[in-house]
Chain A
Amino acid sequence: MPPMGAFTAFVAQGFRQQAAYKVEGWLGIASSLIWFVLFAGIWTALLRDDPVALERQMRYVIAARFLSELGFLPTWEIAEKFRMGDVGLELIKPVPLPVRVLGDFLGRSLFRTLRSLPVYIVIWFAFGLTAPGATALILFLGSALTGWVIAASFQLSLTLIALWTVQFNEAENIWHLASALFSGEFIPLYYLPAWAGALAAYLPFAGTYFVPSAILAGTLTGPELWQALGLQVIWALAGCGLLAAMWLAGQRKLTMQGG
C-alpha cells in the first residue's frame, strides 16, 4: 500500500475507534463547555468596557477552544509502549511508526472536532457573532490542519527521545510550558508583553493556536496573514523533517526494556 493510502487508512481507523466510545463523546462535550465557560468568563471580565474588542475576542476564544479538540495528541500512549518494551513489535511492521501514529491521532482528533462542532456553532450564534466569510473559513481550516502537523510532528519527535532513554517526559513538559505561554491558546499574541509577542510570532507554537484563531477572529489580515501562513508551512516542514530524522536515527540506537 502506498504511504498516503496507508496513512488515510489509519486516519479512518482512528476516527472509527474514537466513535466507538459513546460515554467519552458526551463527557468530551461537557468538558468543552466547562473550558469555554472559563475562557469566556475571563475575557468578558477583562473586556467588559470594550464591546468591539470583546466580540473579536469571543470569536478568538471559540476558534481556540475548537482547535484544542483538534490538538488531542495522546503521545503518552506511545511513551508507555516504549516503557513496556512493546516498541520492538513496531520495528517489524511494514508501515513506519510515525505514519501509523500520526494517522491514528489525526483520525481521533477529527472525530473529537466534528463531535464538538455543533456545540461551537450554537455558542457562536448564541453570542450574536456574525458568520465568518467563506475565505476566512477556508484559510482557518487550512491553517488549523497545518498547525496540527506542527504540534503532532514536534511532540512525537520529543516522545521518540525515549528510543534512547526508555523514559523521558521532561522534553514534552517543556514543550507544553512554552506552548501554554506562546501558542495563543489562552492569550492572543497581541495581548502579550511586546517582547513576548514579537518572539512568539516566530516560534512554532504560534502556528498551532494563534494563527488560525486570529484568522477567524479577523485580526490577522494583509501581508501579516501571508507571512504567518508562510511561517506555519516552514515550521510544519521542519517538524516533519525532524520526526523522520529522529525515527531513522532512533531505530539504530534503540534501547529496549526486556522482560
Chain B
Amino acid sequence: MGDLGHNLSCYYRMAMAQARSQMQYRVNFFAHLIGIVLTYAGQFIALAWLTQRFTTVGGWRFEEIILLYAMAILAWGFAVSFFWSLIGFEDQVRMGTYDRALLRPINPLLTVLGSQSPIAGLGQFVFSIAAFLFAVKVAGIRLTAATLGYLLLTALGGGLILGSAMLCVATLAFWTTRTYTFYWSLVYPARQLINYPVSIYHRAIQFVLTVLVPFAFINYFPAHVLLGRTGELPIPLLAWATPLVGAAAIAAAYGFWKFGTRRYTSTGS
C-alpha cells in the first residue's frame, strides 16, 4: 500500500507540473479548447440536420443520440486526461527516452502517463456536460443522485475502456515503433462508430464492439439505463456492466503492456 501511495504521489506531482507548464501557454490552451468545441459543434449540427430530415436513426431520436455523444465524449475526456501521452509513446521508444522512465523509482508506466497534463480533457468535459444537460432536458430523463452516480461510474469505466485501447496501442510500439498510425487508423475511427446506436450495424460489427473491442459499453449499453429502456437489450444486465468491463479491460491491457516491456531494447546513443 505504501508503494502504491508513493507511486501515485509521484504521478500526481509530475502531472501537476505538466498542468502548470501547459497553463503557461494560455492562448494556445484556449485556442485548442475552441478547436475541440468547434469540431463537436459541427458533428451536432450535422446530426441535427440528419434527424430533421429522417426523424430517427435506427429508431433513436436526436436527443437520444446526443445522449450517446455526451457519454462517449465524457469518457473520452477522462481517457485524454490520463492516457493521451500513450499516443505519442513511439517517440519515447524510437528516441530511447523511455530509458528515463525505467531508471526512476516508480512504475515506468506512471512516468509515461505523468508526462502529460491531466487537464487536457477539459474541452471534452465542458462540452459533454452541456450536451448531457441538453439531452436530459429534451429526452425527459429523470435525474437522481443514483443516476448521476451511475453516470460518473460509467464515464470512469468508459474512460478505462478507451485508456486500455490506448495502452494496447502504446504497447505495440515495442514491436513496431509506431503508435500514431495505429491510433489514427484504428482507434480513432472505431471511436466514431459509437457516436450512433450500435444496433444500426451488422451483427458481426455489434459482436466486435461488445466482445473484442468493448466500446459499446462506453455509451450504448449504459444509455439504456438512463432512458429506462434496459428491457430492449437481449441481456439487460449489459447496461450495468460498464465499470466492470472497464476494470477488466485495463487489467488485460496492463498485462499486455508488462509483456511488451520485455521486448524493449534501448536505441543506445
Contact = CB atoms under 8 A, between A and B. Distances in A.
B42 A177 contact: yes
B58 A45 contact: yes
Contacts of A192: 49, 53
Contacts of B269: none
Contact of A170 (B34, B41, B49, B54): B34
Nearest to B50: A187
B179 to A, nearest CB: 12
Contact of A187 (B31, B49, B192, B200): B49
B39 A177 contact: yes
A180 B41 CA distance: 11
A181 B45 contact: yes
A55 B178 CA distance: 39
Nearest to A26: B185
B193 A37 contact: yes
Given A27-B186, A193-B52, A196-B49, A38 B38 contact: no
B185 A28 contact: yes
Contacts of A24: 181, 185
Contacts of B186: 27, 30-31, 34
Interface in B78-111: none
Given A27-B186, A34-B193, A191-B50, A41 B202 contact: yes
A196 B53 CA distance: 12
Contact of A191 (B41, B42, B53): B53
Given A23-B181, A24-B181, A27-B182, A38 B53 contact: no
A126 interface: no
Contact of A23 (B38, B178, B196): B178
A43 B186 CA distance: 22
B146 to A, nearest CB: 32
A60 to B, nearest CB: 14
| Range, interface on chain B | 20 to 34
Contacts of A196: 49
B59 to A, nearest CB: 8
A176 interface: yes
Interface in B29-54: 31, 34-35, 38-39, 41-43, 45-46, 49-50, 52-54
B205 interface: yes
Given A31-B186, A45-B200, A193 B192 contact: no
B38 A174 contact: yes
Given A23-B176, A173-B38, A35 B49 contact: no
Contacts of B54: 46
13 contacts: A23-B176, A24-B181, A30-B186, A35-B189, A35-B192, A38-B189, A38-B196, A41-B193, A42-B50, A42-B57, A42-B200, A173-B39, A191-B49
Top 4 A-B pairs, shortest CB-CB distance: A27-B185, A45-B58, A31-B185, A45-B200
Interface of A: 23-24, 27-28, 30-31, 34-35, 37-38, 41-42, 44-46, 167, 169-170, 173-174, 176-177, 180-181, 186-187, 191-193, 196
Given A45-B57, A186-B46, 15 more contacts: A24-B181, A27-B186, A30-B186, A37-B205, A41-B193, A41-B201, A41-B205, A42-B196, A45-B196, A170-B35, A176-B42, A180-B43, A181-B45, A193-B53, A196-B49
